Copies of this chain bind each other. A is one copy, B any other.
Amino acid sequence: MSDSSVSLRPGSTIGILGGGQLGRMLALAGAKLGLKSHIYCPDPQSPAFDVTPFKTVAAYDDEAALRKFAAQVDVVTYEFENVPAATAEILSSLKPLRPGANALAISQDRLAEKGFLASKNIPVAPYRAVHLLEDLKAAVAELGLPAVLKTTRLGYDGKGQRVLRQPGDAEAAFAELKPHPLVLEGFVPFEKEISVVVARGVDGSVRAFDPAENVHRHHILFTSTVPADIAPGIAKHAAMLAKVIVVALDYVGVLGVEFFVLGGERPSLVVNEIAPRVHNSGHWTEAVCLTDQFEQHMRAVAGWPLGDPRRYADVVMQNLIGDEVEVVPGGIDGDTQPHLYGKAEARPGRKMGHINRIVRSE
């Protein structure tokens, strides 16, 4: 449905594709707004199923299930960018899909994303499309080494990429990564990674949370610290670029933008990637903002006014990976807000929860 002005009444139902922790946290935020959430996910053990009685367990390409789901909800959103294009097409023909299908199409393909960003004069790392091994060799010659060869689709948390350090690495990496085409990204000598979570409402209003400074461990986000240790001008510039992106996409909802901060006498920014959803590096907002990223997203997709993203306090968000979740309940007193995702099994590398720690100025 193309009606971009639909505003839901309290008591309406938001359909959420994906039943992981992001869907779960969206459903919890929706409940506070008096909105019901219907979770659609193929995995019957999805953590989001524990926070709502409204669910569909079905594959994302099950057209009958998708149509039934659409009939039971008032608007559809999602917690992950890899929603199949056919799924998005079916659902958006029946109910408003927010964010729209164009945000999915662009963000689920690295080449499309970089092309979109470059077309809006938003700086990205140098890159080349790689269809054939010959393309890769030419790209290595042009961009130099080291460089990173990546799949264009379905990469996350360091999966689907290989670092090339010598020309001899190219052939094996090209053979290992599937499916083709791939993309080669030139090395960017960045000092740190920051991210901005930005929201745009149905009415076109745009609000950004403060930039977070992100530290990864084993290719998985470890901490997000706010405020980021960056110059005020860089923070403002990051927020401005994030706003340009959501306006250019005619976006509705929350979007995460990851940046590399390049060093040097005049620091500058390049966009690493965008995610058309709530973002792990925005979990800190729950502890220190009147409206957190989950409520902000649900307000936007409901067609409601955006909330206030201002921050009360300095904060560090730390992911709890695998058995790190055992810090709960023993280690959660003091200035600590835990958030667990209700996953039964603490497998290595699995995001089990996070902890927000307040840094008080007193």
Question: Which residues of chain B come closer than 8 Å to A60, judged between CB atoms?
Answer: none
Q: Which of A118-150 contact B (CB under 8 A)?
A: none
Contact A333 B306 (CB under 8 A): yes
Contact B290 A305 (CB under 8 A): no
Docked pose: A52 CA to B51 CA in angstroms: 5
With A31-B342, A52-B53 as contacts: A304 and B290 at CB distance below 8 Å = no
Number of A residues, CB within 8 Å of B? 51
Contact B325 A304 (CB under 8 A): no
Binding site secondary structure of chain A: loop
Contact B10 A290 (CB under 8 A): no
Contact A335 B312 (CB under 8 A): no
Q: Nearest Cβ distance between residue A353 and chain B, in whole angstroms?
A: 6
**Interface segment, A32-40, A233-241, A265-273?**
A32-40
With A11-B342, A11-B344, A290-B287 as contacts: A328 and B36 at CB distance below 8 Å = no
- Is A307 in the interface zone, CB < 8 Å from B? yes
Q: Nearest Cβ distance between residue A4 and chain B, in whole angstroms?
A: 16
- Is A71 in the interface zone, CB < 8 Å from B? no
- Is A339 in the interface zone, CB < 8 Å from B? yes
Q: Which of A1-38 contact B (CB under 8 A)?
A: 7-8, 10-11, 24, 28, 31-36
Docked pose: A330 CA to B288 CA in angstroms: 24
Contact B307 A34 (CB under 8 A): no
Docked pose: A36 CA to B341 CA in angstroms: 11
- Is A291 in the interface zone, CB < 8 Å from B? yes
- Is A313 in the interface zone, CB < 8 Å from B? yes
- Is A340 in the interface zone, CB < 8 Å from B? yes
28 A-B interface contacts by CB (under 8 A): A10-B340, A11-B342, A11-B344, A31-B50, A31-B342, A32-B338, A32-B339, A33-B338, A34-B342, A36-B342, A50-B52, A50-B53, A51-B51, A51-B52, A52-B53, A290-B335, A290-B336, A290-B337, A290-B358, A299-B332, A302-B329, A304-B328, A304-B329, A305-B329, A305-B330, A307-B336, A308-B334, A308-B335
